[in-house]
Structures are given as C-alpha cells and as structure tokens.
C-alpha cells in the first residue's frame, strides 16, 4: 500500500482529537497542504476532486488513500458516488481498487451499486483474472433478491473459468448467494459438485467451505473426491487445510468402522483357548469378532494429515489433533501431544484454546500428556485464565507416581498473590486427595495447616474443601472438627462459617462438649450474620435439640424466635418448618416422629469432579467445546457405524489405457520445469508446484490416486495441447536421456510395489497416475497465460519455480538407485523408513529465496533489545459503574466492572464484566444485546444471552469492547423479552492500558525515543501522606493499570504499560523534588490518552 494511505487520521465528523493529532500532511499530488487539524469534510472534498480528475495518476492516488482509510477502519461511505463513477476505468490498477472499495460498501449502498451492474457483467468477461474475480465478488456482495438470477448465471460461468483464482471466488460466492436466497440450493449443489472435482489446490479449501455451508449432509458428493482431497491436503493454503480436515473428520466417522475396538477384540481372543476343548473352541471362534483391519482409505487420511502437525499455523495443528483424537486408533493418537505442547509457546489466546482441549483429553487418556507434565507448570507471567487451565490439567494428570511432584508445585501456588488462583489450587488439592487415596491424609493435614494462614480467602477455601473431605471418613477426624470450631471467631467469609457450622451439626455426637458452646456464640451474633450462615445456625440448633435437648432446649427456642421475625422470608419459612418438626404439639403431624431420622440421616460424600468432564461430547477445537454449549452452525460428530459402508463408492474408473498417455507424460515431467521457470502466466508456477507435491504424496499412499482419473477426457486434450507446444524441445539429447531414466525409475518402482498394491484390495491407477495433476495444471497454466498483466500480482507464481529448479540441482549428484527413489516418494510418512537420504536431510543452500535471505539478515540476535512482556495487574480496584437502575427498568439492575485482565475475545479488546441483578417480582427472560449503535471504529463482542434471571438472583457475564485507544462511549441496546434499554459504557483512561514488565535500562531507552510532542509533564504539590513509596504506588495503580518498573533511586518512581488496541507504550515517571513538589512525566505516542491520564493523576497525588 502506498504511503499516501497513511495521510488521513480519519474521515468521521465525530472522530476524537487523537486522530486529528495523528494526521500528517498529504502528498504533493493533492495540490495543496492539508493542515494538522483540518476538517474531515475538506479532506473528502479533496478526494472527490481527485476522483473526478482527468488524470489517472490522481485517481489512483485517491483510491490508494481511500482503501488505506478503509484498512484503518475509517468510514468512507460518503465517497461512494464519486468512486462508483470510476468502475469502468480502463486503468487496471484503478479498477482493482474500485472493486475492493465496492466489495466493502456494496451492501450499504445497494441502489447506487445496482446502477453499475452492467459494468460488472462486462467485467466478468475481462481477460484479467483479478478483474473477473473482483467483479464476481462485488456482484455477490449486492444483497438484493432481484439480481439473484444474474448472480447465479455469473457463478455458473465462473465455475468453469480457466483461472483457478476465479473458480475459488465462485466457491465463495455460492455461500453468499445461498444466505441471500436458500431456494437456490439445488443449482448451487451442482456447482459445488463440479468444483469439488477441481484439481487446483487454490480451489479445494474454498469449495469445501462452500460445501460445509450449503449442503453439509450431502456426504455422497465427497466419495469420488475423498482420495484427491487427502493427497492435495499438504499443498492447500492453511485456511483451506483447517476446513478440509474438519470435513474429513465428519466423513471418516460415517464411512469407517471404529478403530477403538482393536484392543477389545484382541483382548478377548488371546486368553480363553487354553482351557477349552476342541469343540468348545470352535463354537467360541464363531462368536468372536474378526480382528480389526483398518480401511486403506482410513489409513490414507491419517498418513496425509500427520505432516501437518509440524505446521506453523496453530489452527492447522489443532485441527489435526482433533482428527487424531476422534478418528485415529488410541495407540496412534498420542503423537499429537508433542505438537500441542509446542503451541503453548504461542500467544495467550492460542494457549487458552489449546489448554482447554488438552484439559478435556487428559480426563479420558492421561497417558498422552504424562511425559510433558513439566510443560504445564504455572509461570508467574501467566494470566489467571491460563493458570487455572494448567492447574486443571496438572490435577487430571496426577497419579501415584507423580503426586509428590504435583503437590510440591501446589504448595507454591497457594502462596500466589492471585487470590482466585490460590483458591483454585486449594480445590485442586482436594480433588487429588479424593482421587488418590494414598495421599488423602497428607492433603488433609496440609489443608489444616493452611487454616492458620494470614489470608482470609485461603482459609475460607480450605474450610470448604476440608468439609468435603471429612464427609468421606468423619470417624477419624474429630480433632480437626474441634480445631475448625475455634476458627469461627476469626473467619468472616460466610461460606466458610456456614461450612464449619454444618460440620459441627452433622457430627455433633463426636464433639458433645463443643457443639452447645458454638450454638451459644452463634445465638449472640445471629442478627448480624449472613443469610447463608443463619440457615446453618437453624440446622445446628435443630440437630442439637434432637441429640442434646437438656443443654440446648432454651437456646433452640431463642434462635427459633429470632428466625421467626427475620427480614428474609427463606429464614422465616425454615424456622416455621423446623419448629413444627422438632417441637411436638397438638398440631404436629406424623412427620415429627421421624424428625431425628430426617435431620441426622447419612449423607453421601460429595464428588469432586473436573469441570471439563461433560465437554467430551463436543468436537475438540470447536466453538461449542470452548463455550460448553451448542453454538449456531455446529455439526455433531456421528457415532461409528457398526458395519462400514461399501468402500467401492470411493473408487474412480480408469478411462485411458497406459499406452495412450505414457509417452507424453514422460515428456511433460522432464520439460515442464524449464518452461515454468520462464513463464509469466498468472498461475503457471503455482499450479505446477502444488501438483508436483501432490503427485509425490499420492504415489506413497496405499490406495493410489484414483480420484484423478475422473476427468480423463480433459486430461487427454490437455496432453495433446502441451505436447504440440513442446515439440520444439524434443530434439535435445540430454532431455531424451532424462526421459529414459525416468521411465526406468517408474517401472522399477511399480514392479517393486506391485505386490503391496494387489493385497490392499483397492483399484490402482497406471504408472502415469502421479502425473495426472501436472497435466491438469498445464491445462490451467496454458489457458491462464492469456492475461499477462496478472503475473506480477500472484506472489506464489514467483516462488514455486525457484523451489523446483533447486530441487533438480539437489537430486543430480544422487545415483539413480531404486530403493532411494522409493524412499523419496514416501517422504510424507516419516516413520515408515529408518534411513532417510542425505539429499533430503541436508538440502542445498540454493533453496533459500533472495527474499528469505533478506529476512534472515534483518533478524537481530543481540541481547540488548528491550524485553517487554505483559504482566499481571498490580492492583484491581473493585469500583463499579451503574448501567441500569432498578427503579427505571422494572427491577433489573446492571453494573459494569473492569477486571484488568486480557480479554479472551480479542487482543485489542478491553475486558468488561457486567453484573445483572433482579429485584423484580417475576423472572426476567432473554437478556441480550440486540443492537450495537453506530460508533466510530468501536467493535464489540457481546456476551451470550441470559435465558432467565430469577427474582433476587444475580449473574455476572463478560464481554469485550475495542475502544480504539480512546475514551469515547460504547453505546448499545440491552434487551429483555419485554423491554429495551439504551446502555452507555465510557472507560476510564486507566482501563485502556495493560501493565508491562521491563528493566530500568529498557525504560530509559524507550523514554528517549518518546520525547518532544510525545512527552507531557506537570509540576505538582504532593500531599505529605502520599510521599511514601507504598502509598504513592497504590494511588497511581488505583487510577491506571500500570506496571511498576524497578528503580535504582528512592526519589524516582517509574511505571510502564501499553495501550490495549495499538500496543503503544505508556511510560509514567514521578520524580520527588525537595520540599513537597514533584514532577510528573508521561511519554507516549498516544498524546491524547497521555494528556488525559496526566490530568487524572495530578489531583490524586495532590489530595490526601
């Protein structure tokens, strides 16, 4: 993109001053200099004049700047009339950019877009493939039902286009047309069926995505193309690989028998024959199932996806992992563990998804991840969500062998400053004690020691977990109950107090002296206790009245009288119920005779289970698995069939004989690379490179490459055309020698593997099958060479020919031995052979392209580069902001809170927690966000709808908002089933930051870069009580989410953070001077945020 695209800070009248300050003067082509704070209207007028200019250079410059504005998220819709006039421009560069603009705004400006529909139809015949594809993309983006027949006709023609790029666009357009008019499903299925037969790797991913959107239940369309998709998978782009793998996972679950029966069957066959007579043995053999034999097509899928575990794309690795989990034999699924552990070095968002899936896996198959136990140890820099997931995995992996190591880790985690994480660790210790009986006493003693901890939250959580553990073996732990009774004077957390009272009441006969005294103390504080505690006091009184009425009769009556007049109706109801049940009188019913059996009945011990236990019915890696609820569009995996469907449906008939196409293919194999190297056609190199890899992968598969045979007639014609074009080069003696060598190699390979192919039971293709893809690619490339101007725009067409020529140079010194060539063919399955040729393990340096060398030279390995990492917040204020008041919303109240944690919905979003509470008489249903009001650049990830909110109930949900590094208000409509309310959330400037850790040296280095206009400072008078380091730090981190930077000077305090949206550094320095003055300095590129933060910090430090 041209640098001119950066010359506008915004184009909305409501844009903040921050964008105005970031604007820079336009280039010389504008004919004038735009001021630093000039109005957006003038900028747009200037662009309109340039678009109406007679010079193509001015129009091109204007379009580049407009597309640059769109890329920044600015609104350029008012320029639509001026842009659409240039849709018929003869300049290809202008036309491309106009189409990019129209794709973005065609849906909003439908009437104006319809005026140019004739131009789009003419562009569908343009010789340039990019113009044809862009015209189809714009046409399918105009969502007006009246043009459905026109779009349908355009998609049909594009599906038969000679350019794979246009066919790829046609596949995308089918999804848009289906969402606009579902009645077009049948003709669209025919187009998808045709595109599924396409051999281009560029089209494969897009058409499978269209298949998943339009007709995911039509598995019959995949049968003939299954083997081709498996073999092309390695060469498809990463986005397409993810889509194809998920589709093939569903396909495998419907077409193959379960490989998980393997262990069961062999276990039954092995043991029972020794003690049986011959007659019994024959009867038994008839009943026993045959040993499991994997379908060759099933094995083909697993083999061809295995190399993708080394992909640099985390989504591809996750897709292969879920495929192995759901489809592969259990003994082979363990190979994905190492690849998933490798992803834990990635960003925290990737870590979160991977760890969620690993947590589900470890519940069912612990052995997969036990060797990587240390990879799940918690780091101090991990956010709370990552810490909790790692803790869950460590708990799942704990067994008798490693429990001592795990518990030693847990002891460290309990001391964490993160209270939520410390509480989760205590719960994990309780689960380990329940699951592993050998360490139950050890864990219980450790939890009792935690009861003397200074942190009240740790003590409270320990009490709750101990209560659950004691229910498993109460007879042995009377001393622990006595110790916990003494803690009632010091613990204030309601849940912990209630748990202690329940324990004393449940086992009151084991502590007969302490229980009445506890009841006496509770009677004194009954009025001031929490409702949860009051209910347990009533239960304790009832149980003591039934077991020790002599000492507790009067106390019980006193407590029942207090409960009778309590403000909470639940407590009043419980009081009346207990009085009628335990105190016999004339009105007492038959239940009063069984009061003791009701209150002192034996309770079952609670089960401490993993929260991920019920997620295994969702497909791993899916959104539904992450949310633990079925998401829209989720396709469930079917159960394995008892009997496999006929595998013959995947066979493709052979049309040609060997003699008809053997010789032309030999010529193509040898002469094609030389022709590609000098080719300038639009997709020549890309197609050849992809098909060459696909042919190597197909030759090493067990089931062959029958899918390529379905288009034999097209291949035959392409061979004739290519052989005629290559007739000039056939006289070369060296090439003739190469042809003979290749023929000998192919014969040797076929003869050596002939026996294996016969036993596989799958119909095979003649020896030329591995080159069928190269035929189709030559057809595409020869036809695509008509548009020469597009060769420069396709980056892939430049890279692959170089790679191919370098591979030729590598293979020259290798002697043409049959075994080595066979191994090279099977490189995809790296475990099949013990020895790998040296030419593969040590590739020549000529493989590196010049661009890659330049990138490697630009890398800096010096240790002096600043290390800046996002850290946990120093302090999280509990301040809430009221969104809805119960008086104006019929009982629905809403408050928002900024938790200062990275948002799981997006790296550029601020995490916001909203707490809904109901004081209404009736339940409130379907609380959701209906409409996001238009705002400049603000993006929002809404929370999942709340189905029902009962009276007196409250619930907290999380959402993400991208404020674009500004304090502008995010507005949206909050709806219930009956009402609709407007809600505004304006963030404090301190919540737009994430704290970072850095050294003092790095701080000074970065501060030196942010001087001049990037520096704001003020001299303030500090209140005497704020001059101590602890209070000063507390005051500052309370206002803003800053990280503390270590300082070597007592009078200078440094803080660092980065903005959530753009990641710009925010450096704050407080330098205490003599007397009570101090200098406050803020360095940042975001000068508007810096000045606002400076304005907010000044009064905080000045006031006491």
What is the residue-wise DSSP string for 859-927? ----TTS---EE---S------EEEE-TTTTTTEEEEEE---SB-TT-TTSEEEEEEEEE-SSS-EEEE
Q: How many CA within 13 A on the CB side of residue 900? A: 29
What pTM was computed for the model?
0.54
CA distances from residue 404 to 380, 401, 425, 433, 696 in whole angstroms, order as listed = 21, 8, 15, 12, 50
Across the range 1042-1070, mean pLDDT stands at 90
Residue 1056 has pLDDT above 50, yes or no: yes
Q: Would you say 244 and 229 are in contact if contact means Cβ atoms under 8 Å apart? A: yes
End-to-end CA distance of the chain: 53
Across 650-654, average pLDDT: 74
What single-letter DSSP state applies at residue 568? -
Structure tokens at 36: 């630093």
Q: What is the Cα–Cα distance from 137 to 162, expressed in whole angstroms?
A: 17
Is a pLDDT exceeding 90 seen at residue 192?
Answer: yes
From 29-43, 82-96, 203-217, 1072-1086, the region with the lowest mean pLDDT: 29-43
Asked if 235 and 311 touch (Cβ cutoff 8 Å), the reply is no
Query: Percent of the chain beyond pLDDT 90?
Result: 24
In three-state secondary structure terms, 1017 is strand
Tell me the mean pLDDT in the region 349-371. Answer: 91
pLDDT bucket at 741, cuts 50 / 70 / 90: low
Residue range 788-816: mean pLDDT, rounded: 41
What is the spatial distance between Cα 134 and Cα 102, in angstroms, rounded to a whole number?
9
**What 3-state class would DSSP assign to 840?**
helix
Of 109-123, 541-555, 786-800, 953-967, give the lowest mean pLDDT range: 786-800
As a whole number, mean pLDDT of residues 658-675 equals: 40
**What does the block give as tokens for 314?**
């985390």
For residue 187, give the nearest of 165, 225, 229, 154 by alpha carbon.
154
pLDDT average, residue stretch 1003-1021: 83
Strand ordering across the sheet containing 980-985? 946-949, 924-932, 970-975, 980-985
* Identity of the highest mean pLDDT range in 357-371, 768-782, 801-815, 1003-1017: 357-371
Whose structure tokens read 């990037």?
1014
β-bridge partners, 1054: 1045, 1069
Q: Tell me how far apart the alpha carbons of residues 329 and 326 are, in angstroms, rounded to a whole number.
A: 9
Distance from C-alpha of 736 to C-alpha of 862, rounded to nearest angstrom: 53
In the predicted model, what is the mean pLDDT of residues 867-892? 84
| Cα R_g (the chain), whole angstroms | 36
* Cα 838 from Cα 581, distance rounded (Å): 87
Residue with tokens 């061809």: 304
Task: Give the Å distances, CA to CA, from 984 to 334, 913, 933, 958, 974.
Answer: 50, 14, 10, 16, 10
Give the CA distances from residue 908 to residues 111, 314, 960, 986, 1038, in Å, rounded to whole numbers and listed in that order.
35, 19, 9, 16, 22
- Tens digits of residue pLDDT in 938-948: 888 888 888 88
Per-residue pLDDT, 475: 63
- Determine contact, residues 1023/900, Cβ cutoff 8 Å: no
Confidence band, pLDDT 50/70/90 cuts, at residue 654: low
pLDDT grade, residue 921 (50/70/90)?
confident
Of 262-271, 321-330, 1079-1088, least confident by mean pLDDT is: 262-271
Q: Give the containing element (helix H, strand E) for 1019.
A: strand 1015-1021
Taking every pair of C-alpha atoms in the chain, what is the biggest distance, in angstroms? 120
Q: Which residue has the tokens 């939250």?
A: 457
- 233 pLDDT exceeds 60? yes
Instruction: Give the per-residue pLDDT at 289.
Output: 52
Render pLDDT for 955-1006 as a digit per residue (tens, 0 to 9).
999 999 988 888 888 888 888 888 888 888 989 989 999 999 989 898 998 8
Instruction: Work out the number of other CB atoms within 10 angstroms of the CB of residue 13.
Output: 10
| Least confident stretch, 35-49, 395-409, 504-518, 786-800 | 786-800
Q: Is 738 exposed, middle or buried (0-12, 13-18, 19+ CB in 10 A)?
A: middle
pLDDT at 757 over 80: no
1021 pairs with which residues across the strands?
Answer: 1077
* Token pair 């409270």: residue: 460
DSSP-assigned states of every residue in 590-645 = GGGGGHHHHHTPPPPPPP---TTGGGTTSPTTSHHHHHTSPPTT--PPPPPPSSPP
pLDDT for residue 195 is more than 80: yes
707 touches 651 (CB < 8 A): no
Per-residue pLDDT at 656 exceeds 50 = no
Rounded Cα distance, 610 and 126, in Å? 60
Instruction: Check: CB of residue 211 under 8 Å from CB of residue 250.
Output: no
Q: What is the pLDDT of residue 1035?
A: 87
pLDDT of residue 19: 34
The per-residue pLDDT of the chain, averaged, comes to: 75
pLDDT exceeds cutoff 70 at 881: yes
pLDDT digits (tens, 9 = 90+) for 538-578: 999 998 888 888 888 888 889 999 999 999 999 999 999 88
Name every residue whose Cβ is closer than 8 Å to that of residue 819 and which is 6 or more positions away in sequence.
Answer: none
pLDDT band at 667, cuts 50/70/90?
A: very low
Whether the Cβ atoms of residue 965 and residue 992 lie closer than 8 Å to each other:
yes
Q: Is 1103 helix (H, G, I), strand (E, B) or coil?
A: coil
């Amino acid at each position: 993109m041209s640098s001119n695209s950066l010359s506008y800070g915004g184009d909305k009248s409501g844009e903040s001053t921050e964008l105005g300050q970031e604007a820079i003067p336009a280039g010389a082509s504008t004919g004038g200099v735009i001021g630093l704070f000039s109005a957006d209207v003038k900028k747009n007028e200037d662009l309109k004049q340039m678009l109406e200019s007679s010079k193509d250079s001015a129009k091109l410059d204007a379009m580049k700047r407009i597309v640059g504005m769109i890329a920044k998220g600015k609104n350029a819709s008012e320029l639509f009339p001026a842009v659409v006039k240039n849709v018929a421009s003869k300049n290809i560069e202008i036309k491309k950019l106009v189409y990019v603009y129209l794709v973005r705004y065609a849906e909003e400006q439908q009437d104006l877009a319809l005026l140019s529909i004739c131009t789009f139809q003419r562009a569908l015949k343009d010789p340039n493939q990019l113009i044809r594809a862009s015209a189809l993309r714009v046409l399918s983006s105009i969502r007006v039902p009246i043009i459905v027949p026109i779009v349908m006709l355009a998609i049909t023609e594009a599906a038969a286009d000679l350019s794979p790029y246009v066919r790829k666009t046609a596949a995308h357009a089918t999804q848009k047309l289906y969402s606009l008019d579902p009645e077009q499903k049948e003709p669209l299925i025919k187009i998808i069926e045709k595109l599924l037969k396409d051999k281009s790797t560029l089209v494969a991913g897009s058409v499978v995505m269209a298949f998943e959107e339009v007709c995911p239940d039509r598995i019959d369309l995949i049968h003939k193309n299954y083997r081709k998709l498996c073999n092309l998978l390695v060469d498809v782009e990463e986005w397409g690989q993810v889509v194809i793998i998920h589709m093939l996972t569903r396909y495998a679950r419907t077409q193959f028998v379960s490989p998980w029966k393997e262990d069961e069957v062999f276990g039954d066959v092995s043991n029972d024959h020794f003690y049986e007579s011959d007659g019994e043995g024959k009867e038994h053999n008839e009943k026993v199932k045959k040993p499991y034999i994997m379908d060759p097509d099933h094995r083909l899928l697993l083999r061809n996806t295995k190399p993708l575990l080394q992909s640099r794309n985390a989504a591809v690795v996750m897709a292969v992992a879920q495929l192995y989990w759901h489809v592969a034999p259990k003994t082979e699924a363990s190979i994905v563990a190492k690849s998933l552990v490798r992803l834990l070095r990635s960003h925290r968002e990737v870590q979160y998804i991977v760890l969620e899936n690993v947590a589900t896996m470890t519940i069912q198959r612990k052995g997969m991840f036990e060797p990587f136990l240390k990879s799940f140890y918690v780091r101090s820099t991990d956010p709370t969500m990552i810490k909790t997931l790692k803790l869950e995995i460590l708990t799942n992996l704990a067994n008798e062998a490693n429990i001592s190591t795990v518990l030693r880790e847990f002891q460290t985690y309990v001391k964490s400053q993160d209270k939520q994480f410390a509480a989760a660790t205590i719960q994990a210790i309780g689960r380990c004690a329940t699951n592993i009986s050998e360490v139950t006493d050890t864990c219980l003693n450790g939890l009792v020691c935690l009861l003397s901890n200074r942190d009240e939250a740790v003590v409270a959580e320990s009490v709750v977990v101990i209560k659950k553990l004691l229910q498993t073996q109460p007879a042995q732990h009377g001393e622990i109950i006595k110790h916990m009774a003494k803690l009632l004077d010091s613990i204030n957390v309601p849940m912990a107090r209630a748990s202690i009272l329940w324990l004393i009441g449940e086992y009151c006969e084991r502590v007969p002296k302490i229980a009445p005294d506890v009841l006496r103390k509770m009677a004194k504080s009954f009025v001031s206790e929490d409702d949860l505690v009051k209910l347990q006091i009533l239960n304790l009184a009832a149980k003591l009245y039934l077991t020790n009425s002599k000492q507790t009769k009067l106390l019980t009556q006193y407590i029942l009288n207090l409960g009778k007049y309590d403000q909470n109706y639940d407590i009043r109801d419980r009081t009346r119920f207990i009085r009628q049940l335990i105190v016999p009188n004339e009105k007492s019913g038959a239940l009063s005779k069984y009061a003791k059996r009701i209150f002192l009945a034996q309770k079952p011990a609670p089960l401490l289970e993993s929260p991920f236990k019920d997620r295994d019915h969702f497909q791993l890696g899916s959104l539904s698995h992450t949310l633990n609820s079925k998401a829209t569009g989720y396709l469930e995996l079917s159960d394995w069939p008892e009997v496999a469907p006929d595998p013959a449906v995947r066979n493709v008939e052979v049309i040609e004989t060997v003699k008809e196409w053997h010789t032309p293919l030999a010529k193509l194999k040898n002469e094609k690379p030389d022709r590609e190297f000098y080719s300038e056609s639009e997709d020549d190199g890309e197609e050849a490179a992809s098909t060459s890899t696909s042919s190597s992968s197909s030759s090493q598969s067990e089931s062959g490459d029958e899918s390529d045979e379905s288009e034999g007639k097209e291949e035959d014609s392409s061979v004739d055309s290519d052989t005629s074009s290559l007739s000039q080069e056939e006289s070369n003696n060296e090439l003739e020698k190469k042809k003979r060598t290749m023929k000998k190699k192919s014969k040797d390979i076929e003869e050596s593997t002939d026996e294996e192919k016969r036993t596989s039971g799958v119909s095979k293709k003649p020896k030329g099958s591995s080159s069928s893809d190269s035929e189709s690619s030559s057809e595409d490339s020869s036809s695509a060479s008509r548009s020469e101007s597009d060769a420069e725009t396709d980056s892939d067409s430049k890279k692959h020919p170089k790679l191919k020529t370098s591979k030729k140079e590598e293979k020259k010194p290798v002697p043409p031995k049959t075994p080595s060539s066979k191994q090279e063919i099977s490189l995809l399955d790296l475990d099949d052979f013990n020895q790998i040729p040296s030419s593969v393990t040590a590739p020549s340096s000529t493989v590196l392209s010049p661009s890659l060398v330049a990138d490697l030279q630009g890398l800096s390995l010096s240790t002096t580069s600043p290390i800046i990492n996002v850290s946990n917040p120093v302090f999280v204020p509990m301040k809430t902001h009221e969104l809805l008041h119960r008086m104006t919303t019929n009982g629905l109240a809403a408050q928002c809170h900024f938790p200062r944690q990275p948002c799981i919905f997006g790296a550029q979003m601020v995490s916001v927690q909203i707490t809904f509470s109901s004081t209404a008489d009736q339940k409130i249903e379907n609380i959701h966000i209906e409409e996001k009001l238009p705002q400049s650049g603000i993006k929002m990830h809404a929370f999942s709808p709340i189905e029902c909110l009962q009276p007196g109930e409250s619930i907290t949900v999380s959402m993400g908002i991208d404020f674009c590094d500004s304090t502008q208000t995010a507005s949206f409509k909050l709806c219930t089933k009956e009402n609709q309310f407007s809600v505004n959330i304006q963030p404090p400037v301190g919540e737009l930051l994430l704290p970072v850790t850095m050294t003092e040296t790095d701080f000074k280095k970065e501060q030196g870069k942010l001087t001049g206009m990037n520096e704001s400072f003020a001299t303030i008078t500090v209140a005497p009580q704020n001059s101590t380091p602890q209070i000063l730090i507390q005051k500052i981190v309370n206002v803003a989410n800053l990280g503390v930077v270590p300082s070597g000077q007592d009078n200078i305090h440094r803080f660092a953070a980065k903005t959530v949206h753009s990641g710009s550094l925010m450096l704050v320095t407080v330098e205490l001077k003599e007397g009570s003055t101090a200098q406050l300095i803020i360095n940042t590129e975001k000068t508007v945020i810096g000045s606002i933060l400076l304005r907010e910090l000044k009064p905080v430090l000045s006031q006491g």
